[in-house]
Amino acid sequence: MLGTGFYGFDPLFVDLSGFDDSLLPGSSAIDMGEGAALPTDFMDTAELLLLDFAGLDRFFDDPDTVDTGPSDPPVVDTGAFEFQPIDSSCLADLTGDGTLNFFDISAFLGAFAVQGTHNGWGHADKIMMRMN
């Protein structure tokens, strides 16, 4: 993996043998790129390419990584894919305690039983909208 731009570190790809070149948490390629070096948008030449290869936001700052790139924050990642941490919160955790348990089911059933509140929207409808 030697070539132009190689810095001698393991970029911590998700699965290089499976052709998944996205970055794992802790990769030193996160927040170390140079935004000014991005190619221009192929639809118009007035702006930098704002999306990565997966179509996600290219200027995404990982709050758990120190910015080491020469650009102003948010600093882009090196490579085709911008690291995007996965939100591990569960939408069914209705009590917000970080675990899915009986109390979440109880909260859902209690809200489901309440019908016909403000503007015809019951609390259960709001919960179902949150889950979608």
DSSP assignment of 36-73, as one string? GGSPBPSS-TTSB--B-TTSSBSS---TTS---SSSSS
Residue 30 reports pLDDT greater than 50: yes
Residue 16 reports pLDDT greater than 80: yes
pLDDT at 4: 52
Is there a single domain that holds both residue 45 and residue 67? yes
Show the domain range for 106: 88-132
Is there a single domain that holds both residue 64 and residue 107? no
Is there a single domain that holds both residue 80 and residue 104? no
Count of domains for the chain: 2
Contact 91, 98 (CB under 8 A): no
Distances (CA, A) of 6 to 19, 65, 79, 106, 130: 19, 20, 11, 54, 44
> What residues pair up with 51 in beta bridges, in sequence order?
57
pLDDT at 124: 47
And the tokens for 104?
Answer: 């979440």
Residue 113 lies in a domain: yes
Is there a single domain that holds both residue 73 and residue 126? no
pLDDT at 88: 62
90-94: average pLDDT: 76
18-27: average pLDDT: 89
Cis peptide before 70 (omega within 30 of 0): no
Contact 71, 38 (CB under 8 A): no
pLDDT at 18: 87
pLDDT at 122: 46
Residue 1 lies in a domain: no
Q: In this predicted model, what pLDDT tens digit does every residue of 42-83 receive, in sequence order?
A: 665 556 678 888 888 888 888 888 888 888 888 889 888 999
Residue 114 reports pLDDT greater than 80: no
**pLDDT band at residue 2, thresholds of 50, 70 and 90?**
very low
Higher pLDDT, 92 or 87: 92
pLDDT at 111: 75
Query: To 5 degrees, how large is the angle CA 78–CA 60–CA 5?
Result: 10
Contact 67, 73 (CB under 8 A): yes
Residue 2 lies in a domain: no
